[in-house]
Chains A and B, each alone.
Chain A
Amino acid sequence: MAHRNLLYLLSLKELRTRYKKSVLGWAWSLFNPLSQMLIFTVIFTYVFVAKPLAGDPSGLKNFPLYFLSGLLPWNFFSITTSVAMSNVQGGAGLIKKVAFPHEHLVFSVVAAQFVTLLIETAILVIALFVAGQNALPWLPVVLPLYALWALFTAGIALALSAFNVFFHDVQYLWTILSQMLFYVTPVIYFTDALPDVFVGRVLNNVANYGPTGSYIVAFHNLFYDGRWPTGWLLLQLAAMAVGIFALGMWIFGRLSPRFAEEM
């Protein structure tokens, strides 16, 4: 790939500048999911007074670990998409002055966030181990699945950041949309525990089979339940990743030649 060096430098820049003027620096990227996990655990344990379902077959019964195994990939998705938009916007200085493949502004964010995801996952794996669940055997599946998830995320991020150059509303709209998406994705609830009423059944379907939901289900399978996702699910995830990525690339490729004059 031409400009590999450029992608490397941009990703490095992403990693370096993120916590530049902060004392705790990188630790912040861990505090974020940990605090979210803490809040959800307190709310569901003491406010809504719910009980975590047991992982099958792991037998794990633990809110914090369930939340974390979905939150980490979810945060990767939501942070990458929104940071990619502002990164392309913030790259105006570069875009208007030099010719280079603009998609690297998106890829560099994906790459940097992916590194963060890996570090956070390492901590999750340790926590699971402490709780008596050895996730190591599943890593050979988790990592390729992460790669597909990153591809899917990149596709969405490409499309959003390209549209955002022309209409800045996209980023505000996306803040709302991704929040809604968060709730129809089974990050903070068990789909099996949804009530068997109409709304519950609709949510159950969206959460289990929706684009983001099906990925999170697979990650729960691997981390929390300790079992293989079904072959169909894996196939669906792969197809979705490739399809969304191709679509994102196509949209970005169509719009990026006009970035320089629109910014």
Chain B
Amino acid sequence: MPDPTVILAVDHLVKSFRIHHQKSNSLKQLIAGRGRNRYDDFLAVDDVTFDVHEGEVFGIIGQNGSGKSTLLKCMAGILQPNAGSVRVTRRMGALLELGAGFHPELSGRENVYLNAAILGMGRKEIALRFDEIVDFSGLHAFIDQPAKTYSSGMYVRLAFAVAINVDPQLLIVDEILAVGDVSFQRRCLEKFVEFRNEGRTIVLVTHDLGSVKSLCDRAIWLERGKAIDEGDPSDLVEAYTERMLGAEAPAADGSVRRGSGEIRITKVEMFVNGSAFAVKRCRTNDDVLLRLYYQAEKTMPQPVVGIEIQSLGGATVTAPNTRDVGMVPPTMWGSGAIDVSLSNVALLPGTYDIHTTVTDFNRALIYDHLREALRFDVMTGKPYETDGVVTMRPEWKLS
């Protein structure tokens, strides 16, 4: 008996492509090579299984070429899987990889009708929603221009507008946040949230890990076609970024370091309210001093030092760096310490991690990134609030 809340079930899905040795789509090749054994099978999706439940936002992450788009195309029925199955029980709208199924010679208007027809809508139904679609896309002035004159962002806007206005119960989206401008991205995100609140289901492929963390309820991680992990998006994104950026093995205290290593933060200590003893706990509203010990093997010009305080839940509470306040030293070498003082800490009770980063001035080269350099607890102080991670020191007034 299948679980009725599962509205998308991917079951041992396998998709392979034929990689022709000299791809030339020609009869000569067919005749000369007799067509056979002239290709290898390349497994783009390798035995992937997962379920998506009603009302979930489900993320798929993985590096370029890991098979995400292929997987979505199998779900959308564009590619035929070699083995396994995809079961979809609701009306599905799909928006795949940059742009949509548009005919370049047709106008935006004609393409809207064509796409809606492909998605199974009748002419009357489309006419009713046409204005809404154009409104959402914001392309009023261009709607009667041929689609070939559209920019790639405009393509995506129109495609997205169509896809969400055909009333899908399940929306699958591949990488659309990448080309839209900021206002459109925000509108997409709002739409996703709205969809989620309405209890609709979204499957999202994106390299924007921030939105995976904030939007998704669950995620899966693909690597070379295999689903190597599935679960909480924050954990997954964490593990994924670390893998992608080539982290070293965790040290004994659980900290993880990466970076080119010209400068290293060797240790972080915490002092509270002027005390000379390093501690690992404080209270809300204490004055805290963080001391970052560094060691520079070479003289490095204009290094930028930053810290990040993160709650156990994965939220970054604050992440100041020396460049933002104009305190970048011209060079740095040898060893020493940098102090950061934080007065009247607004953190609420809980456990927090401090990560440190040293980069070049453009923050492109990472000399050192130390995760979990220090883990500390915040105890109840003043003010006290049950929920949240920071206090804004609210003053309530009843009137």
Binding site for B on A (CB under 8 A): 2-3, 5-6, 8-10, 13, 16-17, 20, 91, 93-100, 166-170, 173, 257-258, 260-262
A91 to B118, CA, bound (A): 13
Q: How many residues of B contact A (CB 8 A)?
A: 34
A93 and B80 contact, CB distance less than 8 A: no
Closest to B30 in A: A167
Check: B17 CB closer than 8 A to any chain A CB: yes
Which B residues are CB-close (under 8 A) to A167? 25-27, 30
Q: Which of B30, B78, B122 contacts A260 (CB 8 A)?
A: B78
A9 and B25 contact, CB distance less than 8 A: no
Closest to A13 in B: B106
Total A-B Cβ pairs within 8 A: 82
A-B contact pairs, 20 of them (CB 8 A): A6-B118, A8-B123, A9-B110, A9-B117, A17-B105, A91-B103, A93-B99, A93-B101, A93-B104, A94-B102, A95-B101, A97-B101, A98-B94, A98-B100, A98-B101, A99-B94, A99-B118, A166-B25, A168-B26, A173-B27
Give the Cβ gap from A256 to chain B, nearest Cβ, in Å: 9
A33 to B131, CA, bound (A): 43
Which B residues are CB-close (under 8 A) to A93? 99, 101-104
Q: With contacts A13-B110, A167-B27 known, is A98 near B115, CB below 8 A?
A: yes
Closest to B16 in A: A261
A91 to B103, CA, bound (A): 8
Check: B96 CB closer than 8 A to any chain A CB: yes
Check: B79 CB closer than 8 A to any chain A CB: yes
Q: With contacts A5-B123, A20-B105 known, is A99 near B25, CB below 8 A?
A: no
Check: B114 CB closer than 8 A to any chain A CB: yes
Which A residues are CB-close (under 8 A) to B25? 166-169, 262
Which A residues are CB-close (under 8 A) to B110? 9, 13, 16
Check: B120 CB closer than 8 A to any chain A CB: yes
A140 to B119, CA, bound (A): 38
Give the 7 A-B CB pairs with smallest separation, nearest first: A99-B77, A97-B101, A257-B80, A98-B101, A94-B101, A6-B117, A169-B27
B78 and A97 contact, CB distance less than 8 A: yes
Which B residues are CB-close (under 8 A) to A261? 17, 79
Give the Cβ gap from B192 to chain A, nearest Cβ, in Å: 20
Interface residues of B in 22-55 (CB under 8 A from A): 25-28, 30
Closest to B80 in A: A257
Which B residues are CB-close (under 8 A) to A258? 80
A167 to B26, CA, bound (A): 5
Closest to B124 in A: A5
B79 and A5 contact, CB distance less than 8 A: no
Which A residues are CB-close (under 8 A) to B179? none
A91 to B78, CA, bound (A): 13
Which A residues are CB-close (under 8 A) to B278? none
Which A residues are CB-close (under 8 A) to B76? 98-99
Which B residues are CB-close (under 8 A) to A262? 25
A98 to B118, CA, bound (A): 8
Closest to A163 in B: B27
Q: With contacts A96-B78, A97-B101, A98-B78 known, is A5 near B122, CB below 8 A?
A: yes
B117 and A3 contact, CB distance less than 8 A: yes
B104 and A99 contact, CB distance less than 8 A: no
Check: B213 CB closer than 8 A to any chain A CB: no
Which A residues are CB-close (under 8 A) to B78? 95-99, 260
A3 and B30 contact, CB distance less than 8 A: no
Which B residues are CB-close (under 8 A) to A16? 110
Give the Cβ gap from A199 to chain B, nearest Cβ, in Å: 29
Which B residues are CB-close (under 8 A) to A9? 110, 113-114, 117
A5 and B117 contact, CB distance less than 8 A: yes
Give the Cβ gap from B21 to chain A, nearest Cβ, in Å: 16
A95 to B356, CA, bound (A): 48
Q: Which of B77, B114, B120 contacts A13 (CB 8 A)?
A: B114
Closest to B29 in A: A167
Closest to B114 in A: A9
Give the Cβ gap from B87 to chain A, nearest Cβ, in Å: 15
A169 and B122 contact, CB distance less than 8 A: no
Check: B258 CB closer than 8 A to any chain A CB: no
Closest to A7 in B: B117
A13 to B115, CA, bound (A): 13
Check: B338 CB closer than 8 A to any chain A CB: no
Check: B257 CB closer than 8 A to any chain A CB: no
Which A residues are CB-close (under 8 A) to B77? 99
